[in-house]
Amino acid sequence: MKIKGAEILLRALSDEGVDTIFGYPGGVVLDIFDEIYKSKFKHILVRHEQGAAHAADGYARASGKVGVCLVTSGPGATNTVTGIATAYMDSIPIVVFTGQVATPLLGSDAFQEADITGITRPCTKHNFIVRKVEDLARTVKEALYIARSGRPGPVLVDIPKDVSQAMTEYHESGPPKAPAHDPIYVPDVTALNEALRMIKQAKKPVVMVGGGVILGKASQELREFIEKVQIPVTHTLMGIGAFPGTDPLSLGMPGMHGTYYANMALTQCDLLINIGARFDDRVTGKLDEFAKNAKIIHIDIDAASINKNVIVDLPIVSDCKSALQQLNKMLLQNHFTIPEKDRKAWTQQIDEWKEYAPLSYCAGEKIKPQCVIETIYKLTKGDAIIATEVGQNQMWAAQFYKFNHPNTFLSSGGLGTMGYGFPAAIGAQIAFPDKTVVDIAGDGSIQMNIQELATAVVYNIPVKICILNNGFLGMVRQWQEIFYERRYSHTNISQIPDFVKLAEAYGAVGLRATKPEEMEAILEKGLNTPGPVIMDIHVEPEEGVYPMVRPGSPISDMDLGR
């Protein structure tokens, strides 16, 4: 029996296990939305297409599945570009379906036509334009496969209006034919043996883990590996939660706003084992000073990421899970042990660094943002999914909330997208309706996608938004303080909405704390109030994020703040 392309799209998605779409309708996708109406396919209507892309991203990060969104052509499609680029930089598997003008109109500058495949080519793992309805089902399957295989990433599928209206028979397609995306999973055994030899010889080793461990679902294997080799662990922003933040071997995050002890350990180690991270510039600082005395092992599924920024001594192209499984097996077979005396001096040195410069802040007459994060951690018992916006709020959340589980920290790392956190939190809450999901926001970035409060209210999505309200674009203000003699050019945003009234206007609950003695009670009330809640917490306006490594400096050269 022949069916419309619009129905084929939904059936193909359903056959691939997709049950949720975030989207926004428009003229050229009316046939698809009509099929959604008739099928009762779970669709979350956002209030802006950027919100749809970020919500799909948050859904993917929290669940480990592919996130899916659907938008119309022209501005609907171009509004997703920031969300696509965000997912691309952080290797997040999403598939974005965009409507397009009918194929006879392509290239004619028709109403709401945009070359979205051309626009997104630099920030998608792959993209398609479907010109024949017979190709639609296969393309859907390939798009989902490409998004989640190898190093994950976003894929875009552009569907002209006449393709969604055309009729053909639906056949479940076989395995996707996308050999270029087939990853190398099996690690080289010779390289793994060399890695074990290097670990055995090392006196001052450090393991650095990145988002690849989380995306590869290798956190348990990592914990088993660290338990055997007893090496301290530092994690990148994307690697938060891959290794328990409360474990004594955890060094926290390295880099520009990393811990003193993580940066010192990376600087002075004699062996660095990088598992699933890409040596981002915010982590390495001045390249020729980064781990300059260390032998470096790099395990990554993407061969193009190895030796790209940092030249390594032992490259291992493999997904993290396969490599760690094999390493753990070899450690067991070889009865691998490290005598305590061989690492005692290194362990003592790290303990001294931790004691010298722990993550800390000074209490004052106004609410300290770091204290807000610590209080949320206490009240949620460390068991919440935390999304963040970008800026100081993001760094404080990364520093002061101890993440013990993967897929619980959702943040725009590579692109640094303001406005990401709230719609991402909505996506995470859809994936886990019974979990506590909190968006740590700034008063600047929350306004980037505040319209999604309507989405949260309409669907009764109980996301909690904690706004660290300092009246500034905080991170940029901090740079102006340090580098521009406090010339706060256009970073003072004290003329902002009353967030409590704004929450109430949307039909949500709004709460406010302006004094330290009010803060915990307001947070506790907000976290325990049903439905979406905004908690407007007025914090110290000129509080800074420390430690801080100045651009171009080695990560050992840190400003520890006041």
Q: Given 65, 112, 228, 542, which residue is catalytic?
A: 112
Tell me how far apart the alpha carbons of residues 393 and 373 are, in angstroms, rounded to a whole number.
9
User: Cβ distance 359 to 353 under 8 Å?
Assistant: no
- Looking from the CA of 132 toward its CB, the CA atoms found within 13 Å total 4
Residues β-bridged to residue 67: 94
Catalytic status, residue 111: yes
Residues β-bridged to residue 207: 233, 273
Q: What is the pLDDT of residue 339?
A: 83
Q: Which residue has the tokens 């609907």?
A: 76
Burial class (CB in 10 A: 0-12, 13-18, 19+), 549: buried
In the chain, the largest separation of any two C-alpha atoms, in whole Å, equals 75
Buried b (16+ CB within 10 A) or exposed e, 251-261: bbbbbbbbbbb
User: Cβ distance 407 to 61 under 8 Å?
Assistant: yes
- Looking from the CA of 362 toward its CB, the CA atoms found within 13 Å total 9
Q: Given 38, 42, 111, 172, which residue is catalytic?
A: 111
Q: By C-alpha distance, which of 101, 96, 99 is closest to 143? A: 96
Give the Å distances, CA to CA, from 559 to 26, 282, 472, 488: 51, 15, 21, 21
Catalytic status, residue 264: no
Catalytic status, residue 292: no
Q: What is the pLDDT of residue 344?
A: 93
Q: Is the dihedral of CA 41, 44, 46, 51 positive or negative?
A: negative
Give the Å distances, CA to CA, from 227 to 212, 248, 325, 428: 20, 11, 13, 30
Residues β-bridged to residue 99: 159
Q: By C-alpha distance, which of 524, 525, 518 is closest to 539? A: 518
Q: Given 256, 395, 475, 519, which residue is catalytic?
A: 475
Q: By C-alpha distance, which of 429, 436, 440 is closest to 381? A: 436
Phi, psi of 18 (to 5 degrees): -80, 125
Q: What is the pLDDT of residue 517?
A: 97
Q: Given 4, 141, 161, 204, which residue is catalytic?
A: 161
Neighbour count for residue 234 (Cβ, 10 Å)? 28
3-state helix, strand, coil in the chain (%, to 5): 45, 20, 40
Phi, psi of 21 (to 5 degrees): -125, 135
Burial class (CB in 10 A: 0-12, 13-18, 19+), 63: middle
User: Cβ distance 64 to 92 under 8 Å?
Assistant: no
Strand bridging mode 509-513 / 558-559: unpaired
Q: Give CA torsion, residues 377, 383, 384, 390, to 10 deg.
A: 60
- Looking from the CA of 129 toward its CB, the CA atoms found within 13 Å total 19
Cis previous bond, 547, omega within 30:
yes
Give the Å distances, CA to CA, from 339 to 232, 250, 327, 342: 15, 20, 19, 6
Q: 30 in the Ramachandran plot: left (φ > 0), alpha (ψ -120 to 50) or beta?
A: alpha
- Looking from the CA of 49 toward its CB, the CA atoms found within 13 Å total 21
In the chain the first and final C-alpha atoms are separated, in Å, by: 72
The encoded tokens of residue 245 equal: 């933040």
Task: Report helix, strand or coil for 495.
Answer: coil
Q: Which residue has the tokens 């000129």?
A: 542
Tell me how far apart the alpha carbons of residues 387 and 410 are, in angstroms, rounded to a whole number.
4
Alpha helices, DSSP H, located in 269-368 = 281-284, 320-333, 340-356
Residue type, 502: L
* Ordered per-residue pLDDT tens for the chain, 562 residues: 999 999 999 999 999 999 999 999 999 999 999 999 999 889 999 999 999 999 999 999 999 999 999 999 999 999 999 999 999 999 999 999 999 999 999 999 999 999 999 999 999 999 999 999 999 999 999 999 999 999 999 999 999 999 999 999 998 776 676 655 566 678 999 999 999 999 999 999 999 999 999 999 999 999 999 999 999 999 999 999 999 999 999 999 999 999 999 999 999 999 999 999 999 999 999 999 999 999 999 999 999 999 999 999 999 999 999 999 999 999 999 998 888 888 999 999 999 999 999 999 999 899 999 999 999 999 999 999 999 999 999 999 999 999 999 999 999 999 999 999 999 999 999 999 999 999 999 999 999 999 999 999 999 999 999 999 999 999 999 999 999 999 999 999 998 899 999 999 999 999 999 999 999 999 999 999 999 999 999 999 999 999 999 999 999 999 999 6
Q: What is the pLDDT of residue 177?
A: 63
The encoded tokens of residue 102 equal: 């009918």
Tell me how far apart the alpha carbons of residues 178 and 145 are, in angstroms, rounded to a whole number.
8
Q: By C-alpha distance, which of 123, 176, 170, 120 is closest to 145? A: 176
Q: Given 49, 221, 374, 540, which residue is catalytic?
A: 49
Tell me how far apart the alpha carbons of residues 509 and 554 are, in angstroms, rounded to a whole number.
46
Q: What is the pLDDT of residue 241?
A: 98
Q: Which domains, ranges and CATH numbers included, belong to the chain? A: 2-181 (3.40.50.970), 189-356 (3.40.50.1220), 369-546 (3.40.50.970)
Give the Å distances, CA to CA, from 316 to 32, 77, 297, 451: 44, 38, 8, 45
Q: By C-alpha distance, which of 294, 321, 326, 332 is closest to 310? A: 294
